[in-house]
Amino acid sequence: MSALNLDDFAHLIERPDGGVRRDAEERRARLAVPPGALGRLDELGEWLAAAQQQVPVRPVERPRVLLFAGDHGVAELGVSARPAGGTKDLVRAVLDGASPAAVLARNTGTPLRVVDLAVDCDPEELPEEVTRHRVRRSSGRIDIEDALTAEEAEAAFRAGMAVADEEADAGTDLVVLGDLSVGGTTVASTLIAALCGTDASVVTGRGGAGIDDLAWMRKCAAIRDALRRARPVLGDQLELLATVGGADLTAITGFLLQSAVRRTPVILDGVVSAACALVAQRVAFRSPDWWLAGQASGEPAQAKALDRIALNPLLDHGVTAGEGTGALLALPLVQAAAALAAELPVRD
């Protein structure tokens, strides 16, 4: 296996085609619908045209929901409303069609895929197509130990890259990205605080499941302790992910970067995908041009990360369920923008 050099992404990732975007803007100006009447839908249609390198834009016909799954040792501290090691139940609910994301995916006709990187269960308890990229069983407790070894971090990153290639090769034209984890918001908030240079209290939220004041204080303390371990390794993004990330977040970061290489647009979900996007931006500054922020989750860390990478959420409905739900809610809006840009007639 050749050595993984993250600096390569800065050279491999190009921005969506600016010339095509200008052509899309000119075409929009010739539509019968007055300029500005479609609001942000015009911007979305032009962004998709640039990503596809095509005017008029193609309708989004082959989207896919991708949920990266993993447990986190920091959950043992009682930082989540869910029990430590409970990600297996979240995965099972998705596979059984009983989670919000599964319901929305089913009703929009969007295929859904779960990728297990570090779920705390025997691999035999989940389908082989879910576990085949697994790196380890749970990630380390980041307040006192590394989440991953250097070898595990590289394996997780490469797994995310491989998933991006699999989707691009399968013809997926838009990815709806989410995560399934217990303790993931604590890890994500640590990464965002470290990269933004802020204190733990600034980024500590209540999590998707909601926590009481005592759990919030435990979460804040865990992030504070993890930040002490994160700051010395801020110059190396893969080492940062190994130190205070986890297998799932490391894979998501690799996925986001390789998806940008493959010109696959991605809708981000909540604070976990926002944290990975922030790490990926540090690797390749052009990569955020390939992403949309699906919705504001209410997590302060997500807001800080999205502000840093200049992404404005499409929706803000107060949905805190996570697990890809917010990104899925934004999918019909993106599809509508593509359909309008593709099908509205131009004036003679």
How far CA 110 is from CA of 6, 30, 32, 60, 101, in Å, comes to 32, 32, 31, 11, 10
Q: If we measure between CA atoms, which residue out of 266, 280, 285, 196 comes closest to residue 238?
A: 280
| CB count in 10 Å sphere of residue 316 | 11
Question: In sequence order, what are the residues at sequence separation of 6 or more whose Cβ sits closer than 8 angstroms to the Cβ of residue 292?
Answer: 44, 47, 265, 266, 267, 268, 311, 314, 330, 334
Determine the Cα–Cα distance for residues 265 and 63; give it in Å rounded to an integer: 10
168, 172, 178, 182 alpha-carbon torsion, rounded to 10°: -60
Task: Give me the residue label for tokens 């107060």.
Answer: 318
β-bridge mates for residue 101, sequence order: none
Q: Which among 61, 166, 323, 343 is annotated as catalytic? A: 323
Q: Please say if 323 is a catalytic residue.
A: yes
Q: If we measure between CA atoms, which residue out of 300, 301, 298 comes closest to residue 277?
A: 301
Pairing of strands 112-118, 174-182: unpaired
Read off the DSSP letter of residue 31.
B
Give the full edge-to-edge strand order of the sheet including 266-268.
112-118, 63-71, 174-182, 266-268, 291-293
Determine the Cα–Cα distance for residues 124 and 161; give it in Å rounded to an integer: 24
Give the residue numbers marked as catalytic: 323
